[in-house]
Amino acid sequence: MKKRICIICGKLLNDGIIIYGRGICSCCEKRLMNIEMDTDFYDYYKQCIRRNIAELVIRGEELKCQNYRF
Ligand SMILES: [Zn+2]
């Protein structure tokens, strides 16, 4: 199995949650539970999610298009 890293803090993932194959460690997950909406960390987290998961979804669509041609 491939080793995953947390998309927020970049540490190796031992536990936590996986979204679209991207990991968030339990430490960052806990921070998210208690997050204040107008903090820097919230903005940073949103950027991480957008960069990592949005790109992944777009790439998945391209893959589907390529398969369709064959
Ligand atoms: Zn983390």
Give the whole-angstrom CA distance, residue 2 versus residue 21.
11
Give the whole-angstrom CA distance, residue 9 versus residue 27.
9
Q: Is residue 5 part of a domain?
A: no
Q: What is the number of domains present in the chain?
A: 1
Instruction: Give the sign of the dihedral formed by CA 16, CA 47, CA 3, CA 10.
Output: negative
Q: Is residue 10 part of a domain?
A: no
pLDDT tens for each residue of 6-55: 988 999 988 888 877 788 899 888 888 888 888 888 888 888 888 877 77
Per-residue pLDDT, 62 = 60
Look up residue 14 and give its two tokens: 């031992």
Task: Give the residue ranges of DSSP H helices in 2-54.
Answer: 26-33, 40-49
Instruction: List, as ranges, residues with CB under 5 A of the ion ligand 1.
Output: 6, 8-9, 25, 28
Q: Is residue 1 part of a domain?
A: no
Tell me, in angstroms, the distance from the centre of ligand 1 to residue 61's CA: 27
Q: Which residue range is the domain that position 60 belongs to?
A: 16-69
